[in-house]
Amino acid sequence: MCGIVGYIGPRNCVPILLEGLRRLEYRGYDSAGIALVMNGKFSIHKKAGKVADLVSLLNAGNSELNAQLGIGHTRWATHGEPNDTNAHPHWDAKKEIAIIHNGIIENYLAIKTKLLREGHTFESSTDTEVLAHLIGVMFERTNDLCSAVRMALSEVEGTYGLVVLSTRDSGKIVVARRGSPLIIGVGEGENFVASDASAIVEYTRQVVYLEDGEVAELTTQGFQTMTIDDVKIDKVVEEITLELSQIERGGYDHFMMKEINEQPETIRDAMRGRLLLDEGDVKLGGLTDVMERLLKAKRIILNGCGTSWHAALVGEYMLEQIAKIPTEVEYASEFRYRNPIIGEDDVLFSISQSGETADTLAAMREAKKKGATVLGIVNVVGSTIARESDGGVYVHAGPEIGVASTKSFTSQLTVLALITLMLARAKGMSREDGKVLAKELASLPDKVAHILKQTETIQALANEFKDVRNFLYLGRGANFPVALEGALKLKEISYIHAEGYPAAEMKHGPIALIDENMPVVFIVPRDGIYDKVISNIHEVRARRGRIIAVANEDDREIEEMAEFVIPVPRTYGFFGPIINVIPLQLLSYYMAIARETDVDQPRNLAKSVTVE
Ligand code: G6P
């Protein structure tokens, strides 16, 4: 949510900032801006719309932009509509300070009221401009930018990833973090700051992760980190392994399609070195230290948001049915305000692609405070959830740039299956039974690759239904969350209203919607509840609903009942979601293409939601 990039060094930073913003655009994309210090003066350019609109604005300008100090921001609006004025950077009253900010200043109204009384005027409706003015007031008192930022932040409630520049104290960038990720990129004779590594990996692999409550001052020669109260802190410089090719589209029209197609590989990567086929077991280094606590746990709680919450729902089926451990799932956003009864016997897994989602992180902190063991199932290496948890498992899906999550979901499910198998074996599942499950897991990448060959059929299906206004997705058991995920994918990128439901619940409401205009996608593999779902299909047919079935390839019966069948290979029931979701991802992708929406950057959404 909001992309941040900054540079101090000998190079012209304009291309660095613009390329960085392009790479960060998946975090937020309703407006963008840069602030440069040129000949001791600010040159600030802001534009509503995409980074490309900002670039056009700069290209249309007459002057050559060349600066060795600058910051850039791509925004996902919280306070104030996305327009040129509300875009970051924002100035202080004297226009000596420029700031970019990710997060929300919760007490901005109180501060604004006070500043208005003191004669300040504001151009934008943002909380960020208020913070800029407050820093400006402190700067008047101290003449030192870093002290001014620390003093201002001590009056602020809320969250921030903050980057500040000044023309008066101009050899530095001051950055601060509370709740929104920031990393310092350490170069030679130059330094960078960014909200994530993708913006700076081209220039340096040496990074420092800022923690909440930390402030840093960057110069060309180095950086100094401290707390808001000015206690110096020594930070470890870490190496990032991200490859540039991983954050490029690589011949695909969209990141989403690239990421859908990567799934045979990413599912394999999630299992690599972990799945022990001969022993029918699993080894997960990140859980070794907490294994005893996991085995003693009275209950496992899985939480996350969005797609990660859907993965948690599938995980509940796996852990309860296979490992026989009582498991609960909860939206992270609800968990944190519910004052949940939780204690030392509980283990909470936070599931998050980004490892930065504000609600998921807050839920994890809440559980930790109450004595639970907290573990992460995270994709982004070094992210806050990964660093603050007691242990966990990386899903190793590689960078996911498309806003609609695809490969992360199947990798999360794969990791949940691995955790389940490991716990089941430790709790007494026989080696033979373990081997059967391990073999089945190992076969999933090929099955996914097989489904991916059906793109043309699914594209034809999308063209048939592209003008429909509503969709229903129905599934049962572990495929109920797949129905939710299929509906979410469609909503997110094609803006068609879609609902996911447990198939049997249909008659308690959604059935009222069914007529000849309502397509219903059934996920109906040949499992123990197949016949029940078939009954639900009959109920829809009787009301002339149009049926699309995701069903097993050898299922002849379904062909009689559905208008369209998307065949998927058979697998062990609880692993089914890992492959059954693939056609639904493709369907939503092609629906979006047919409707000419922005697949990778759908309206109003952001990849990483670092505000509440
Ligand atoms: C946003 C994204 C979703 C994602 C959710 C949770 O809403 O658009 O795709 O599922 O956040 O994100 P996380 O990074 O915690 O998995």
From 47-51, 59-63, 128-132, 195-199, the region with the lowest mean pLDDT? 59-63
Whether 129 contacts 107, CB under 8 Å: no
The answer, yes or no, to whether residue 29 has pLDDT greater than 90, is no
The DSSP output letter for 158 is: B
Structure confidence at residue 522 (pLDDT): 97
The pLDDT tens digits of the residues spanning 160-178 come to 999 999 999 989 999 999 9
Pocket-testing residue among 2, 305, 361, 610, ligand 1, by greatest number of atoms within 8 A of Cβ: 305
Structure confidence at residue 80 (pLDDT): 83
Contacts of 74 (CB under 8 A, 6+ apart): 2, 3, 21, 24, 25, 27, 28, 29, 31, 32, 51
Scanning 252-405, the segments in alpha helix (DSSP H) are: 255-261, 263-271, 291-296, 306-321, 332-335, 358-369, 384-388
CA–centroid distance, residue 53 to ligand 1 (Å): 26
Structure confidence at residue 204 (pLDDT): 97
Cα gap 494→478, rounded to integer Å: 25
Structure confidence at residue 482 (pLDDT): 98
Does the pTM surpass 0.85? The reply is yes
- 245: confidence class by pLDDT, cuts 50, 70, 90: confident
Structure confidence at residue 604 (pLDDT): 86
Residue 551: left if φ>0, alpha if ψ -120 to 50, beta else—which one? beta
Within 13 Å of residue 536, how many CA atoms lie on the same side as its CB? 27
- From the CA of 354, give the closest atom in ligand 1: 14
107, 108, 113, 118 alpha-carbon torsion, rounded to 10°: 120
Within 13 Å of residue 397, how many CA atoms lie on the same side as its CB? 31
Nearest CA among 197, 173, 201, 136 for reference residue 6: 173
Structure confidence at residue 296 (pLDDT): 94
From 4-13, 23-32, 460-469, 478-487, the region with the lowest mean pLDDT? 23-32
Average pLDDT score, the chain:
95
- 120: confidence class by pLDDT, cuts 50, 70, 90: very high
Which 3-state string (H, E, C) describes 103-127? CCECCHHHHHHHHHHCCCCCCCCCH
Tell me the three state secondary structure of residue 416: helix
* pLDDT, mean of residues 130-134: 98
Nearest-CA residue for ligand 1 atom 5 is 306
* pLDDT, mean of residues 129-135: 98
User: Quick one: which H or E segment has residue 86?
Assistant: none
Structure confidence at residue 287 (pLDDT): 97
Give CA 570 to chain center in angstroms: 30
* pLDDT, mean of residues 474-500: 97
Q: How far is CA 416 from CA 74, 118, 216, 273, 350, in A?
A: 34, 56, 38, 16, 12
The pLDDT tens digits of the residues spanning 190-243 come to 999 999 999 999 999 999 999 999 999 999 999 999 999 999 999 999 999 888
* pLDDT, mean of residues 124-130: 95
Cα gap 562→79, rounded to integer Å: 47
Q: Is the CB of 357 under 6 A from ligand 1?
A: yes
Cα gap 206→194, rounded to integer Å: 13
The answer, yes or no, to whether residue 612 has pLDDT greater than 90, is no
Cα gap 21→3, rounded to integer Å: 7
The pLDDT tens digits of the residues spanning 411-463 come to 999 999 999 999 999 999 999 999 999 999 999 999 999 999 999 999 999 99
Cα gap 414→444, rounded to integer Å: 9
Q: Is the CB of 354 under 6 A from ligand 1?
A: yes
Whether 482 contacts 474, CB under 8 Å: no
The answer, yes or no, to whether residue 122 has pLDDT greater than 90, is yes
Q: Is the CB of 414 under 6 A from ligand 1?
A: no
The answer, yes or no, to whether residue 250 has pLDDT greater than 90, is no
Structure confidence at residue 28 (pLDDT): 79
Nearest-CA residue for ligand 1 atom 2 is 607
Structure confidence at residue 42 (pLDDT): 96
Q: Is the CB of 601 under 6 A from ligand 1?
A: no
User: Quick one: which H or E segment has residue 375?
Assistant: strand 373-378
Structure confidence at residue 464 (pLDDT): 96
* pLDDT, mean of residues 504-517: 90
* pLDDT, mean of residues 294-300: 95
The answer, yes or no, to whether residue 134 has pLDDT greater than 80, is yes
Structure confidence at residue 507 (pLDDT): 87
The answer, yes or no, to whether residue 1 has pLDDT greater than 80, is no
Cα gap 412→307, rounded to integer Å: 10
Nearest CA among 526, 483, 525, 528 for reference residue 503: 483
* pLDDT, mean of residues 271-289: 97
- 336: confidence class by pLDDT, cuts 50, 70, 90: confident
Q: How far is CA 134 from CA 138, 144, 184, in A?
A: 6, 14, 24
DSSP string for residues in 468-502:
-SEEEEEE-GGGHHHHHHHHHHHHHHH--EEEEEE
The answer, yes or no, to whether residue 610 has pLDDT greater than 80, is no
Q: Is the CB of 608 under 6 A from ligand 1?
A: yes
**Type of residue found at 302:** L
Q: Is the CB of 303 under 6 A from ligand 1?
A: no
The pLDDT tens digits of the residues spanning 149-164 come to 999 999 999 999 999 9
CA–centroid distance, residue 584 to ligand 1 (Å): 18
Whether 354 contacts 607, CB under 8 Å: yes
CA gyration radius, the chain: 25
CA–centroid distance, residue 71 to ligand 1 (Å): 26
Tokens coding 377 = 């199932």
Longest dimension (CA), the chain: 79
Structure confidence at residue 84 (pLDDT): 95
Cα angle value 579/580/582 (rounded, 5°)? 70
Whether 136 contacts 115, CB under 8 Å: no
Q: Which domains does the chain have, with CATH numbers?
A: 3-246 (3.60.20.10), 251-450 (3.40.50.10490), 456-595 (3.40.50.10490)
